[in-house]
Structure 1
């Protein structure tokens, strides 16, 4: 049995297909196929408020390839979620209807709060009792902040700041000020103990990889700052050709790094856990739970 998640972000679009396997009779997910394509919807939407015809054509071709892969793997259930760029596109609903009529795929535009909620499905094993946590998820078009204490989520907020937006715009800078004020206010209500950051998103995953750390080992705020300052020494072309970054990562990693650091410093978090998980993983965790009865039937057939 296979499940699939499609995440249409402001920078990249992703397909993750996982097999449902069993360990000691309990189901778990094993990734079998992952595809990411730099669709860059945010370049259209955050400048012109619409998705261009050329980009719509690209999206249809990409989703057709995703659909073919799902058919080859005989996927039993899937979800297609679109986030910030599609939320703000004036022709977003029109694009969704076109995708449905041409490909038969059901796409849903989710809110920032819903995006955070699905991503949180993946964080349970990292949020421990007796600790404070700030979860920072920086995407191309939005940043989701979640605050946890004693394994419970206390506060959540989504901001229209992201790595693809124009960071020099006055309204963008004001949103960063608002975000900082909100974090300060909420963290002040925490029990006085260390706050640990949890970072999700493609850019923090890349920063973690550049630090060459073993998986599950936290990174320090100062290490993130050092990597950001190192990357700033290179031009965009140098980041691509000398450092080997993909073009859609080379121009987003520094602004994303700035947002992670701002949130961490405001929350007085000195270290960050980077679980290499995101919305796509949360979708699959949700689908695993949703299909539990089917999975039970499937298990009896397997065993």
Structure 2
């Protein structure tokens, strides 16, 4: 059986196609497109006409691939930008009318749970609580968990696109803007800090997105080869701090020249790194890991589990 999973994120739309056999899957195709559906509207609770056009064009392209690859089933989810937009449901209807793709808008807590399952599949979390972090364009998900369970989870609607539009008014970002952003994070992430006081995570696991790019920069700087099938990517706290310090003083054009940087990440990566640095510092974290899997893989795993239950009943 062949299954397609579409993740409609605030910044990026992802498509993965997998071949399913014997309770396992093999990814046969993946593509990501910088749709930037939250651009210029996310802090006003609206998806702009231009963003809607980009979304429909990308999903039309995805539909062509899905049909060509003869997928048996399609599962599409939408996250922060669409779930919070006043015209989000209208867009979901347009997607169905124009492409036939049925879209499920998921809550922030559902998103956090799917991310946990994706990360758990990618790497051994361990018996001690770890803090999992996924930085989206619209929301940030935090999960504290072990190999065996989720201990705490929350979604905060303060993602990268929102932070860029609220705080990064110049390029390079100024010290004043960084201070304002950190004050905002301190005020809005109280619930996270309370949970960490209870569970004491010492390791940060970043999933996908910004963390992928940070790992790519680290690898290319240090001549570390990337294995095709690896699902945990290399990164150290020391390397992160060096990359972060460098990003703070560079313009967009200069950031694009960094080996490993991609246009998809170049606009959000500075505020995302301010956030990562803030979390590491506030929680005195001792280790950082990077998961190649995130929401879309979690959705896939949950879907496979449901299909297995249906076939068994």
| TM bin (shorter chain) | 0.7 to 0.9
- Matched-pair contact (CA < 8 Å) for 1:128–1:150: yes
Which runs of no fewer than 5 residues in structure 2 stay unpaired? 169-176
Return the alpha-carbon distance in structure 2 between the equivalents of residues 34 and 132 of structure 1.
31
Is 1:55 matched with 2:32? no
Match of 2:148 in 1: 151
Return the alpha-carbon distance in structure 2 between the equivalents of residues 107 and 71 of structure 1.
17
- Matched-pair contact (CA < 8 Å) for 2:38–2:51: no
String of CA shifts for 1:64-105, please: whole Å, max 9, x gaps: 111121112221222111111112211111111111122211
Which of 118, 124, 127 aligns to 1:130? It is 127
Judged with a 3 Å threshold, the aligned counterparts in structure 2 of structure 1 residues 287 and 223 are, in CA distance, closer, same or farther, namely same
Match of 2:213 in 1: 206
Instruction: Give SS of 2:198's match.
Output: coil
Q: Could you say what the CA RMSD is over the residues aligned between the two structures, in angstroms?
A: 2.5
Which runs of no fewer than 5 residues in structure 1 stay unpaired? 297-303
Instruction: Give SS of 1:144's match.
Output: strand
String of CA shifts for 1:107-146, please: whole Å, max 9, x gaps: 1221111111111112335454531210111111111111
TM-score by length of 2: 0.83
- Matched-pair contact (CA < 8 Å) for 1:127–1:151: no
Match of 1:300 in 2: none
Judged with a 3 Å threshold, the aligned counterparts in structure 2 of structure 1 residues 10 and 129 are, in CA distance, closer, same or farther, namely closer
- Matched-pair contact (CA < 8 Å) for 1:130–1:150: yes
How far did 1:217 drift? 6.0
Which of 59, 62, 75 aligns to 1:66? It is 62
Match of 1:29 in 2: 25
Judged with a 3 Å threshold, the aligned counterparts in structure 2 of structure 1 residues 44 and 108 are, in CA distance, closer, same or farther, namely farther
Return the alpha-carbon distance in structure 2 between the equivalents of residues 242 and 225 of structure 1.
15
How far did 1:151 drift? 3.1
- Matched-pair contact (CA < 8 Å) for 1:131–1:196: no
Which of 43, 46, 52 aligns to 2:39? It is 43
- Matched-pair contact (CA < 8 Å) for 1:136–1:263: no
Aligned pairs (5 A) from 1:67-82: 67-82=63-78
String of CA shifts for 1:232-255, please: whole Å, max 9, x gaps: 232101222464733331111111
- Matched-pair contact (CA < 8 Å) for 1:85–1:141: yes
- Residues matched between the structures, number: 290
Judged with a 3 Å threshold, the aligned counterparts in structure 2 of structure 1 residues 265 and 180 are, in CA distance, closer, same or farther, namely farther
Return the alpha-carbon distance in structure 1 between the equivalents of residues 148 and 39 of structure 2.
37
String of CA shifts for 1:184-241, please: whole Å, max 9, x gaps: 32222236xx621111131111101111156536533232121111122321012224
How far did 1:148 drift? 1.9
